[in-house]
Amino acid sequence: MFFWDPTYILFMLPGIVLTLLAQLWVNSTYSRWSQVASSSGLTGAQAADRLLGQMGMQGVSVEPAQGRLGDHYDPRTKTLRLSPAVGNGQSVAAMAITAHEIGHAQQDAEGYAPMRLRTSLVPAVNIGSTLGIWMIFGGLLLQSFLGSQLAVQIAWLGVVFFSGGALFALATLPVELDASRRARQLLQRSGLLIARREQDGASSVLRAAAFTYIAGLATAILQLLYFISIVGGMGRRRS
């Protein structure tokens, strides 16, 4: 019912626009710099082995990932997973993405507090987001049929549970920005990207990727504000 509410569309429109712009930026930037070969001549997987070796992180394994741009670091298994285009690619984009994911491995090794916070939120967010929607929906139904104060309280509790998604998006942003900062430093120190044009290209890829997380945070906050407005309206009608 929420998704057919014109008010929901109005709330979410800025987030939808930001998300579309972020995807366009990422796709165009990645497409451009995935066609430019890096001066190192290494593939993403080879670059990962070199960088991990230089940092003394032999405990991190490198494996292939499925899908386009499915690159990620798994802190549970200490595994760096690179998509075929990145792991087998020799492009500037492949170097940037590889270095970014190694930035996450570096965060994990150092016990970087924002990353630990984000990881700790995952179980609660997975349960809370779904449970929160159902509690809000249930509160609305109860309020429609019974008009009780209990319905409003259930709906507000649902908002609290659902807010975990926005908190997770907020916790994710500094983790991703820091990983990109580390990636730039790694690429400069390692000599994987020598020419200034290559370094600028890698920075462009990292900036575009970072903007997707900003768009995600904005979308999560807007959705939370929508539910707050709905449940707040329930309380006012009850009064």
Residues annotated as catalytic (active site), given as ranges:
101
> What single letter denotes the amino acid at residue 192?
L
**Strands (DSSP E) found in the chain:** 61-64, 72-74, 79-82
DSSP conformation class of 91: B
Strands 72-74 and 61-64, by their bridges, are unpaired
Give the integer Cα–Cα distance in Å for 174 and 163.
18
> CA of 162: how far to CAs of 103, 117, 167, 181, in Å?
30, 18, 9, 31
Contact 178, 114 (CB under 8 A): yes
